[in-house]
Structure 1
């Protein structure tokens, strides 16, 4: 009896990681009814991480009323894992670029307040460890809004609260942390971060990520100056240096706020997911490991889910097969990181709409054909 592990990431816009894993499992069972199959949804710290870890640990998705980057009330979600004390918050959930239309994007005023509200909600729900997935934000406020939501007061020279958004940080005179939420004070925060950009400068949040959020060259300069000032005030008043911390520039500088005010631990997203999901034990159990995601190319080897799964599986000398919605250039480079073979699921010429709609069926069919081939041995 062969044991198979299905450990894919989500297929964006079509399948969650668990849906992809179950589609793989169905294909395996079609080809080998006697097989033992385990589904372990995965992620790399980006979009879908909360759902994947909730599914992997038999946790629950919770919701809270929060504010989007422009201050509008929305329903946001976060994950509470199966242990009941670990939560997962994604910055894109309440502060994401996808929440704004193209003409609404304005990093001068966009705020990370909603992400702070999710962190506060998780802490009040009993979380003592909060994983914060950094990425996909519409903001460039160095996490100022997040801090305001947690009770930190950012004051101008007249003692007035700053307006939300990165540009307002240029007027910061004093930081008052006395109101920091009590529940949050005792939480261990882990930042799932796959970039090493500092907060400011040529490689900082404003210069590198600002333009994709709608910043003009003049906006980038203005924001970088504002964030530089913020970092100086933090250093002067709190005696914490955040400007050059690797990862401080992640998610529009939210990394700096997490490090400077919550003493966050920074780790690659895929490493956090591998550890939290129990992938190592599952890979040791399996005879064959399936992984995959919506698109696979040479960049997959840089911290993406299939590469992380392969590295773990190869520590136990297990074969690894990846299934993808789209196969790009340079997949031969993936063999170097332990992926033995890559298969696409697209059935010839098909429209994007049909590929998205039929993704589960195509994953099942492709996986079935792979397992039928394996059984010819």
Structure 2
């Protein structure tokens, strides 16, 4: 974007503020803002393939802090197995590892996942036992028997868990986790049945944990990982809002005359707590026009399009960086 501004308006100063919302890029921004060390650990991805993933660690006398991004572990990259077999188990293994490192606070970015298992894989890796299910996943939600919490890692009770959600959606319903399943690879037949499976999982898990979590904003994030985190006592907060505070977004917008924001695909999901929506809200409060740049713009964005003064999608058939610069120039040059 900055290169496009430099070409369209030479010499005009630009303030850059990265805006991940809990998904891809969240770890890098948190790591820089909080001055965390980068560590690595090997865990299975959503398809069970072992991979070495980064996490952040801040050593503090009063208790260490871990920074985890779910997209690094169970993101869409490399998710080539059937959708129903994908699991969040690897994320649970990473959480257990940071507990071994002595952390007492975990910031967990939720977004960009390839999964939709309501977080049962995560729970299993942390010691929850599901009768007859060694490795629970979306496919197994209908076969969930008794749930045993006696093996749940007791250190979680002494750990502050903060989940940074990339959307405000609840777990169930037409605007729940099912809303994002198609882009992860769920076919029409599964989409028609997915919400029922998620509700069945909630019906089984909520009484055992004595927590009613399915309607909490953000519980539908990352295929229901927000729901599982809420069962564990996590605080669910909008990831974009926290990132905005850490990067000084409001002050930057106040100093600017024009705001540029965007994401890969702009559609109805943009209105459920995604970064561009938060940027637009800040800009409106401060009386600044905001322009939206997207890889593509879907018709479902139309009801929310008035939040942005102008909108443009990237021209097809050009390298990404070149296309982004061209899109910025198209907005700024009459």
Q: Same fold (TM over 0.5)?
A: yes
Q: What is the match of residue 209 of structure 1?
A: 181
Asked if 1:154 is matched to 2:123, the reply is no
Provide the aligned length of Structure 1 versus Structure 2: 330
1:187-221 CA deviation, whole Å, 9 max, x = no partner? 2322414253435x777657983896446748975
2:138 is matched with 166
CA distance in 2 between partners of 1:331 and 1:68 (Å): 32
| Shift in Å, 1:55 | 5.4
Select between 306-315 and 57-66 the one with higher mean Cα deviation.
57-66
* 1:240-319 pair list within 5 angstroms: 240-261=211-232, 263-296=233-266, 300=270, 303-319=273-289
TM-score with structure 1 setting the length? 0.68
CA RMSD of aligned residues (A): 4.3
The Cα of 1:300 is off from its aligned counterpart by 4.7
Distance of 1:290 and 1:342 partners within structure 2: 10
- Is 1:23 the counterpart of 2:3? The answer is yes
- Map Cα deviations across residues 222-250 of structure 1 (whole Å, 9 max, x no partner): 9945862x444434433223345454344
1:128 is aligned to 105
The answer to whether structure 1 residue 89 and structure 2 residue 61 are counterparts is no
Query: 2:268, 2:300 within 8 Å by CA — same for their partners in 1?
Result: yes
Contact map agreement 1:295 1:328 (CA 8 A) in 2: yes
- TM-score (normalizing by structure 2): 0.75
Q: Does residue 117 of structure 1 match 2:93?
A: yes
8 Å CA contact 1:295, 1:325 repeated in 2: yes
SS of corresponding position for 2:15: strand
Provide closer, same or farther for how the CA distance between residues 366 and 298 of structure 1 changes in structure 2, counting only shifts above 3 A.
Answer: farther
| Cα gap change, 1:61 to 1:175, in 2 (>3 Å) | same
Per-residue CA shift, 1:176-196, capped at 9, x if unaligned? 245416267412322414253
Gaps of 5+ in 2: none
Tell me by how many angstroms 1:269 deviates: 3.6
**Contact kept? 2:124, 2:130, Cα under 8 Å:** no
